[in-house]
Amino acid sequence: MDRKPQQQTERSRRSTTGVTLVATAIVAAIATAYASSAMPGRAGRLTFPNPSGVIGTIGMDEADADNPFFQELGTNGRTCATCHRPAQGWSITPAELRDRFERTDGLDPIFRANDGSNCEGADVSTNRARRRAFSLLLQKGLIRIALDVPGRAEFDILEVDDPYRCGGPLTAASVYRRPLPSANLKFLSAVMWDGRRSTPGQAIRDGLIAQVVDAVTGHAQGAPPTPAQVHSVLDFELRLFATQVADRSAGSLTEGAARSGPDTLTREAFCIGINDPLDMLPSMPGSCAGPSGGLNPFVFTLFRGWTSSGSPHRQAIARGEAIFNTRPFVIDNVPGLNGRPEDPVRRPIISGTCTVCHDTPNAGNHSVPMALNIGVADASRRTADLPLYTLRRRATGEVVQTTDPGRAMVTGKWNDIAKFKGPVLRALAARPPYFHDGSAATLADVIKVYDTRFQARFTEQEMADLIAFLMAL
């Protein structure tokens, strides 16, 4: 049975001890809770438990219950909140999806054959057929995105090894992606994993507008929304800030010497290029030169105050933050950064850190639009549940295999194959699995990918500290 989420103010949250227990519930219930308990004059905080503590969101108040974000704007029963769940960092987890499948016999509106199923128009006539049709959604929380090979692309799709045999022409590709959070959007420098909703030179806001229209006509199979609807959705989602607010071992993450939490995040300064290692300063609205030029590696400064805390858990989080900011490893062969002659950096970055790429202060995404190929979609990492595309470069006949052509499906450029943006790294604990394809089930798996890819040789202790830190974001 669903328990109702509670809406609490900072003051009442402080008066409760330990972790607030609030179950995931349908958004209608959230709306009801808001209507009944919002405190006038104070922005409320919406909290939900997760295995490592509690996630909190601010920016949603009573009036937002009627926001078109929570309304069916299309024809298939879906709303934005079908896939963007406050309890799950405004993304969605396979655990909730499986639960929803069981509760609704696989008939919840997320289980639609337009893009919820592995193949478009899959057989969904029986429970068994639905389990099969929605296997990627149920196992990894992946939504199918169908993209055409751009006209005048530098490559062709030669063949696809498709475990589902969906069929369809080789002029298009189905890729399977995790819903990105619809919160903390203030910090974006590119919209969507492949940046396909940001046009060079255009404001991020314009990209987000295009994204809302796409979501309604695509995911929800509706007519284009009205400008008023688009703007209400946009204003709402831009107000949402979500982070972990309590950790099961370390306690509150927002009080005393720690300065985490969604309230603090709201006040974090941002402009595109705010902390860019390469001083690229893109010409687009909202960009600015960083204060000093070059990279300030101290990207996360939330838990410094816990360095000599009496609690070993708090110390671990503080150490993890320091490792993220300063632990060096060699970064080389990252197309988009230093993999190819046309990339901005010529040589390996010998003293690279996580923050070379995750550089936005206290948000952790890339502060300029710069899609990178860190190897997540490499053929060598392919699992049997994903298709493998073979692409051939028209000019040279060169061939490459990937599970997702990434940004190349947007620009048509050979050199953009398998490039993705580095997303905002907040509210991570609430929204596994990670990476665009959900290939890392846990944050430990994420670290292992980096350890292998960049031969960082993290010690067991370093890994444990990094995980403790990432879980606390």
The amino acid present at 84, given as its one-letter code, is H
Q: Is 463 in the site for ligand HEC (CB under 6 A)?
A: no
To the nearest whole angstrom, how small is the minimum distance from the Cβ of residue 64 to ligand HEC? 13
- Token pair 């995790």 is at which residue? 178
Residue 398: count of CB within 10 angstroms of its CB = 11
Binding status of residue 376 toward ligand HEC by CB under 6 A: yes
Alpha-carbon distances, residue 14 vs 62, 86, 256, 397 (angstroms): 21, 21, 12, 63
Go through 11-50 and write b for each residue having 16 or more CB atoms within 10 A of its CB, e for each that does not. eebeeeeebbebebbebeebbebbeeebeeeebbbbbbbb
Q: Does 212 bind ligand HEC (CB under 6 A)?
A: yes
How far is residue 105's CA from residue 99's CA, in Å, rounded to a whole number?
10
**DSSP 8-state class, residue 76:** S
Among 140, 186, 358, 426, binds ligand HEC (CB under 6 A): 358
Interface of this chain with ligand HEC, residues 189 to 208, rule: CB under 6 A: 191-194, 208
Give me the least distance between CB of 373 and ligand HEC, in Å please: 8
Tokens of 36: 């009944």
Cβ–Cβ under 8 Å, residues 424 and 184: yes
Contact with ligand HEC (CB under 6 A) among 85, 186, 239, 436:
436
Q: Which stretch binds ligand HEC (CB under 6 A): 39-47, 242-250, 310-318, 421-429?
A: 421-429
Residue 238 near ligand HEC by CB under 6 A: no
Among 337, 391, 410, 427, binds ligand HEC (CB under 6 A): 337
Residue type, 456: A
CB 13 within 8 Å of CB 21: no
For the chain, the maximum distance between any two Cα atoms, rounded to a whole number of angstroms, is 67
Q: Does 359 bind ligand HEC (CB under 6 A)?
A: no
Q: Which stretch binds ligand HEC (CB under 6 A): 75-83, 95-103, 244-252, 309-317?
A: 75-83
The string of DSSP letters for 186-214 reads GG-SSSSTT-TT--TTS-HHHHHHHHHHH
Output the smallest distance, CB 36 to ligand HEC, in A. Answer: 25
Backbone angles phi, psi at 458, to 5 degrees: -65, 140
Cα separation, 219 vs 204, in Å, equals 21
Of the pair 44, 109, the CB lying nearest ligand HEC is at 109
Q: Which residues contact 51 (CB under 8 A, 6 or more apart)?
A: 248, 429
Asked whether 197 and 211 are in contact (CB, 8 A), the reply is yes
Number of residues that bind ligand HEC (CB under 6 A): 52
DSSP state of 49: E
How many CA atoms within 13 Å lie on the side-chain side of 321? Answer: 24
Look up residue 302 and give its two tokens: 């939330």
Residue 446 touching ligand HEC (CB under 6 A) = yes
Q: Fill in the DSSP letter of residue 451.
A: H
DSSP assignment of 109-122: TT--TTTTSSSTT-
CB of 400 to ligand HEC, least distance (A): 16
H or E stretch at 315: helix 312-326
Q: Which of residues 257-316 bind ligand HEC (CB under 6 A)?
A: none
Which among 181-189, 251-259, 289-297, 310-318 is the span making contact with ligand HEC, rule CB under 6 A? 181-189
Q: Is 334 in the site for ligand HEC (CB under 6 A)?
A: yes
Binding characters for ligand HEC, 98-127, by CB under 6 A (x = yes): -----------------x------------
Do 19 and 248 meet the contact criterion of CB atoms below 8 Å apart?
A: yes
CB 48 → ligand HEC: shortest distance, Å? 18
Q: Considering the complex, what minimum distance in angstroms separates the CB of residue 194 from ligand HEC?
A: 6
Which of 143, 210, 240, 274 lies at the binding interface for ligand HEC (CB under 6 A)?
Answer: 143
Sole window of 2-10, 99-107, 158-166, 419-427 interacting with ligand HEC (rule: CB under 6 A): 419-427
The only residue of 177, 186, 319, 407 in contact with ligand HEC, by rule CB under 6 A: 177
Q: Which residue among 38, 138, 157, 216 contacts ligand HEC (CB under 6 A)?
A: 216
What residue ranges bind ligand HEC (CB under 6 A)? 69, 78, 80, 82-84, 115, 143, 145, 177, 179-180, 182, 185, 188, 191-194, 208, 211-212, 215-216, 219-220, 233, 237, 324, 331, 334, 337, 352, 354, 356-358, 372, 374, 376, 420, 422-423, 425, 428, 434-436, 446, 450, 466, 470
